[in-house]
Amino acid sequence: MTESELPVQSVRSMPSRSRQLRALVALATVALLSACADTPLDTMAPESPIANEINNLFIGVGIVAIIVFVLVQGAVIYMARRFRVDAPDDEDDVYPDEEFPAQIHGNTRLEIGWTIVPTVIMAIVGFFTLGTLFNLDDVSASDDQQIEKVVVVGQQWWWEFQYHLDDDGVADIVTAGELVLPVGEEILLEVTSRDVIHSFWVPALNGKRDAVPGRSSPWTIEAGSVGRFPGECTEFCGLSHAYMEKWAVGLELADWKTWAANQMADATAPAEGTDAAAGWEVFSAQCASCHVINGLTSLNDTDAVDSVELYDGANRLIDKQTQVSGAAPNLTHIASRSSFAGGIFELYENVDEVDYLDLASAGDLNRGQLEAWIINAPEQKANAWDSPTGQRGMTPFEALSDDDVDNLVAFLMTLD
Ligand code: HEC
Ligand SMILES: [Cu+2]
């Protein structure tokens, strides 16, 4: 480059830098606004040791990044102003014949400096990052846990949780939408999928792990405190990806044991002559082809669940265990859950006021939403029930009479 070109160059670069500045301001504004928004998925509100570690790493690296950013941008702004060349007042004017500083070619000390300093910074950041990564990858759970492992199965568009309380290979509890955990125990998860790739994430409790069909990815989760912690699917998985939520629920150990004992019990048939019994009849005819209720239904609606031939259609896991639903949430204890349909609707209106274990007895049923779901699920949550290339989700049941729907709800509410 010849010396005479330099002033023109520096003037030309000015609009692009101001555009850059404007973009930066816009970005910062968006970042600030989104930080202020009341988002339920708060990545900076850790409720477990490992989530705490991730958060600390994030803050540490963030501080380093902010310092580097301020120094570099400060230097850029300083130099831009210090060595600015004023444009001529008049268009016909040529640029003033500036005096140029001495032109140099390379500066060994500077170059060594700006190689070493970033290397040292990255080494420090890398040291802490790797430490956290190794901790995250360490999925060895201790032996004296309540739960051997939970197989987490993602599918369009909800999560199934198969609890193995011992190592006999048979799931002891199968539930959907809510992962209930004893506080303070790091539980082993095996994350997988029945169809496409999903990603399991409960930000308050741990980072993400992809759910890949045909693969079982180990992961851990620990609830550090009692509470309900929201989670989202974080790998785009089709139509209702945005409505594929879940909840992790932390319970004190004694409460968790009560919960688990209840979940392991079969459902009992409703007393004859009741609305619930009428609902069970409708359920057997309309719903049992997809939904399992331990002790009451089977997939082919002939025998009790222990003789079930489990669903083995295209793209689904073939699983010979009893109690494992193949295509739809296991409803054996639906009334004990706080939410339904992939965690997007609250089953009870007062979930935050009632103890989790008391929901079925003291919960204020969100009846309108549950009925709307039964009558036309795809309208409540887009799905692909009529897709010619692979049906997903619950079918609409608009032909049900009002009585049928009332009776179905009465029946479902006996499943606590
Ligand atoms: C074609 C299979 C199919 C049939 C038939 C079916 N469902 Fe479903 N149902 C599903 C699927 C799949 C889901 C999960 C949908 C989601 O969350 O996206 C579901 C979810 C539900 C849920 C919420 C469960 C939870 O834990 O989130 C309830 C309650 C329910 N169905 C009730 C019924 C009733 C009552 C009937 C009969 C009138 C019925 N279903 C018939 C497939 C079916
Ligand atoms: Cu998804």
| Residues with Cβ within 8 Å of residue 365, at least 6 apart in sequence | 347, 348, 349, 409, 413
pTM (predicted TM-score)? 0.83
Which DSSP letter does residue 103 get? P
Which ligand sits nearest to residue 178's alpha carbon?
A: 1
Ligand 1 close to Cβ of residue 393 (< 6 A): yes
Domain ranges of the chain: 3-103, 145-416
Q: Which helix (H) or strand (E) holds 64?
A: helix 49-82
Ligand 1 close to Cβ of residue 341 (< 6 A): yes
Which DSSP letter does residue 316 get? S
CA of 371 to the centre of ligand 2 (A): 25
Tens digits of pLDDT across the chain (416 residues):
444 444 444 444 445 667 777 888 888 777 666 554 445 688 889 999 999 999 999 999 999 999 999 999 999 999 999 888 776 666 666 666 666 677 888 899 999 999 999 999 999 999 999 999 999 888 876 667 889 999 999 998 999 999 999 888 778 898 999 999 999 999 999 999 988 899 999 999 999 999 998 899 999 999 999 999 999 999 999 999 999 999 999 999 999 999 999 999 988 889 999 999 999 999 988 888 788 888 876 444 443 333 233 433 332 333 333 334 447 898 999 999 999 999 999 999 999 999 999 999 999 999 999 999 999 999 999 998 888 777 788 999 999 999 999 999 999 999 99
Among protein residues, the one with the nearest Cα to ligand 1's atom 37 is 287
Among protein residues, the one with the nearest Cα to ligand 1's atom 34 is 287
Nearest ligand 1 atom to the CA of 385 is 1
Which ligand sits nearest to residue 211's alpha carbon?
A: 2
| Residues with Cβ within 8 Å of residue 324, at least 6 apart in sequence | 162, 171, 174, 292, 310, 330
Ligand 1 close to Cβ of residue 174 (< 6 A): no
Among protein residues, the one with the nearest Cα to ligand 1's atom 39 is 287
For the 145-416 domain, the top CATH level (class) is mainly beta
